[in-house]
Amino acid sequence: MKKRVLGAIIVLFVLILSLIMGSYAFNLLMCLCAFLSFIELFNIRYDNKKDIILMKIFGIISLLLILFNGIFYNINNYSIYIIPILLITLPILFYNDNKKYNINDAIYILGIWYFLSISYGTLIRVSSLDTLKVVYIFIIAFITDTYAYIGGRLIGRHKLCEISPNKTIEGSIIGVVMGTIVGTVYYLNVVGSELIFVLLMSLALSIMGEIGDLMFSSIKRYFNKKDYSNIIPGHGGVLDRFDSVIFIALLFILFLGFI
């Protein structure tokens, strides 16, 4: 328990420190996290498939091409999405071997490329609007996750679902309650808005954090893996730290339209 809580505190500290250093530092950190996340999602399916290493490289290039846009250069948004699609789909013809690389592989790589580029791109976009709101996203994610884990370990008795056998109903409720309370207090005092709106938003985001965690657990369960590539030793990988953050960020960008 101590190791997990300490890990969450360290990650949150690094993220806030990058925000203090400026948007440029934070954006580069998000690009690094996206890069590591792509490797993890690629490896969880192709950990023993070395003959398509070129497609991993193409996928990474495609992801960074999108995320670097606006940081190092500015390219028309429509045009910049065409290059990754061609890079990932056209090699099907050159491999000419369905056992090595086929349309299912291309769709999987395109899927994780698009999902990660949108997700981490959303965090970069929110940081450009207001760094305090990015901190809000991380606070809700890490408070919800940490207290759900602590609550589950201390009083958890009823299993939440088959997707993640270690999660409990009691732990999830405690996580959502704490995430909602801490998130609401932070937003009202630091950002500012109407109490009822912020309370409902924090509740929705905290629940979404739990859903995001379960979504990525279902991926690991589908591929029969306990963890993603062990890039962060003992902590299961970058995605184990950003699974809830990603989904919270996607929902929060929708709430921004009503603020």
Domain range for 233: 2-258
Q: Are 165 and 159 in contact (CB under 8 A)?
A: yes
Chain mean position to CA 35: 12
Secondary structure letter of residue 166 according to DSSP = T
pLDDT of residue 235: 53
Give the chain's largest Cα–Cα span: 59
Number of structural domains the chain divides into: 1
Query: Would you state the pLDDT for residue 146?
Result: 86
How far apart CA 209 and CA 68 sit, in angstroms, is: 26
Nearest to 166 by CA among 147, 152, 151, 146: 152
Closest CA to 207 of 126, 148, 156: 148
Please answer whether residues 26 and 137 qualify as being in contact, where contact means their C-beta atoms are separated by less than 8 angstroms: no
Q: How far is CA 92 from CA 19, 87, 95, in A?
A: 41, 10, 5
DSSP state for residue 188 in the 8-state scheme: I
CB 144 within 8 A of CB 175: yes
The pLDDT of residue 233: 47
What pLDDT does residue 103 have? 92
Q: Point out the residues of the chain with pLDDT beneath 70.
A: 1-8, 12, 48, 156-158, 160-165, 227-236, 259
